[in-house]
Amino acid sequence: MMNSRIEEWGKKWVERFNELSAKYEIPYYTQSPLNLVGDEVEIMFVGINPKGGNKEITNNTFDKFLAGNECWQQRFCGDKNVWKLTNGARFFMGYNASKHEDTIDNDHKVVWTNLTPFQSDKGFTDLKAELRDEGVKSTFELISILCPKKIVFLGGNAFGLLDKYADDNLKQHFEHIKVFANLPLEIGRLYNMPAFYVSHPSGKWPVSHCFISVFIFLRNLIDIYENEKPTKSLKMVAECMRKEFSLWHDRIDNIITHRMNKKIYFAGSIRGGRVNASLYQRMIDYIKQTDTVLTEHIGKTNMSLKTQTKAMDIHIYERDTEWLGQSDMVIAECTCPSLGVGYELAYAEAHNIPVYIFYDKTKANISAMLNGNEYFYIIPYESEDEIFHELDNILHC
């Protein structure tokens, strides 16, 4: 059964639209079928106006006008939404292209319309003032009748247009605020109902493909209503949103920075034998693509193995234990046994530093003191490709 107030609205405006269409030779229509709308509307999408610039007179009947766009069902091809406008706007609200008949694609609960029903090529800029003003007036009467739980204005600086063209009565029931000064996204309230201004789905989406969806979702979380009244001012909602986005940015940035710039203590045999020095260097080079290696010298193939003075050994010990203390983890290649590397692994364990031990199982057996210690992550391998795959898992987990 048709909503009686929509019926009254339709009878009033179809007569007026027919007059204006004849006067300016401009066609008009609405989008989703208004004759199906129930008593509770979840979402109302409001575009600018139908695109087109043909000179044509529309002489609609009341029933034909409320039946909506005669092509409306063509937005689906099978079970997939294929119109760029409707598919993009649905994505903004968290839906994929599949048909969702109980929610976003339910014409009893969701309304699609325009600020004005009259066609033009360039939105409001090439529309006659009388068509624009009467169209806006009719749409806001419809909003006041439907009282949707959310209103989403799509593109065309809709809130700015409302500031400019709305009558004084409407302006008393409309407020809006930008959350970010340099983004074409705003939040508002119209007749105390939550409203959004977002980019038109056919245009460029700000920040990223998913940002508008996150923007709308966050506002929904923050802007709480009790007894159909908001608990926060719109200014406070915008400030809470900015703080939350800033918090996400800072914490995620810290996580990414930490993940991508770990301090790695690479351990490999020096005085115990340099047969694997070139492998050490390849592992170090691979790690350095994303992270910092404190012990780059381990991979040098021209390192001197001559006996050092006691003073020099003290310096090496103090330097290396300081590096160990600074490190986020130890990565050791232990195919070639080394007393020094064994000490470094024990030092790391004592100081709760994660330790990952690689060894070529085709060339060596790992010590039971390492393999039997559950603290260490032991990684046997047979080829270098396995090493680099495991390094990816370690460094980017």
Q: Kindly list the structural domains of the chain, giving each domain's residue range(s) and its CATH number in brackets, ordered by start.
A: 4-253 (3.40.470.10), 261-395 (3.40.50.450)
Q: What is the mean pLDDT of residues 135-159?
A: 91
Q: What is the pLDDT of residue 209?
A: 87
Digit-coded pLDDT (tens) for 217-251 = 999 999 999 998 999 999 999 999 999 999 998 88
Question: pLDDT at position 330, please?
Answer: 97
Q: Give the pLDDT of residue 223.
A: 96
Residue 53: pLDDT band (50, 70, 90) is: low
- Position 292 confidence tier, pLDDT thresholds 50, 70, 90: very high
Contact criterion met (CB below 8 Å) for 179 and 166: no
Secondary structure (H, E, C), the chain: CCCHHHHHHHHHHHHHHHHHHHHHCCCECCCCCHHHCCCCCCEEEEECCCECCCCCCCCCCHHHHHCCCCCHHHHEECCEECCHHHHHHHHHCCCCCECCCCCCCCCCCEEEEECCCECECCCCCCCCHHHHHHHHHHHHHHHHHHCCCEEEEECCCHHHHHHHHCCHHHHCCEEEEECCCCCCCEEEEECCEEEEEECCCCCCCCCCCCHHHHHHHHHHHHCCEECCEECCCHHHHHHHHHHHHHHHHHHHHHHHHHHHCCEEEEEECCCCCCCCHHHHHHHHHHHCCCCEECCHHHHCCCCCCCCCCHHHHHHHHHHHHHHHHHCCEEEEECCCCCHHHHHHHHHHHHCCCCEEEEEECCCCCCCHHHHCCCCCEEEEECCHHHHHHHHHHHHCC
So what's the pLDDT on residue 117? 93
Does 52 have pLDDT greater than 80? no
| Model pTM score | 0.68
CB atoms within 10 A of CB 381: 18
Per the structure block, which two tokens stand in for 348? 């790391």
Give tens-digit pLDDT for 157-203: 889 888 887 778 888 889 999 999 999 999 999 989 999 999 999 88
Q: What is the mean pLDDT of the chain?
A: 91
User: For 76-104, how does the pLDDT look when each residue is reduced to its tens digit (9 = 90+)?
Assistant: 999 999 999 999 999 999 999 999 999 99
Tens digits of residue pLDDT in 322-333: 999 999 999 999
Indicate if the pLDDT at residue 267 is higher than 70: yes
State residue 260's pLDDT score: 66
Higher pLDDT residue, 356 or 303?
Answer: 356
pLDDT of residue 2: 59
Find where tokens 């390492």 sit: 370
Residue 233: what pLDDT? 96
Closest CA to 284 of 275, 297, 302, 273: 297
Q: Which pLDDT value is given to residue 255?
A: 67
pLDDT at res. 288: 92
Tell me which of 121-130, 276-285, 335-344 is least confident. 121-130
Does the pLDDT at position 1 exceed 60? no
Looking at residue 103, what is its pLDDT?
95
Q: Are 161 and 115 in contact (CB under 8 A)?
A: yes
CA distances (Å), 200 to each of 49, 85, 155, 230, 280, in order? 12, 8, 4, 27, 54
Q: pLDDT tier at 204 (50, 70, 90 boundaries)? A: confident
Higher pLDDT, 331 or 155: 331
Q: Averaged over 49-71, what is the pLDDT?
A: 86
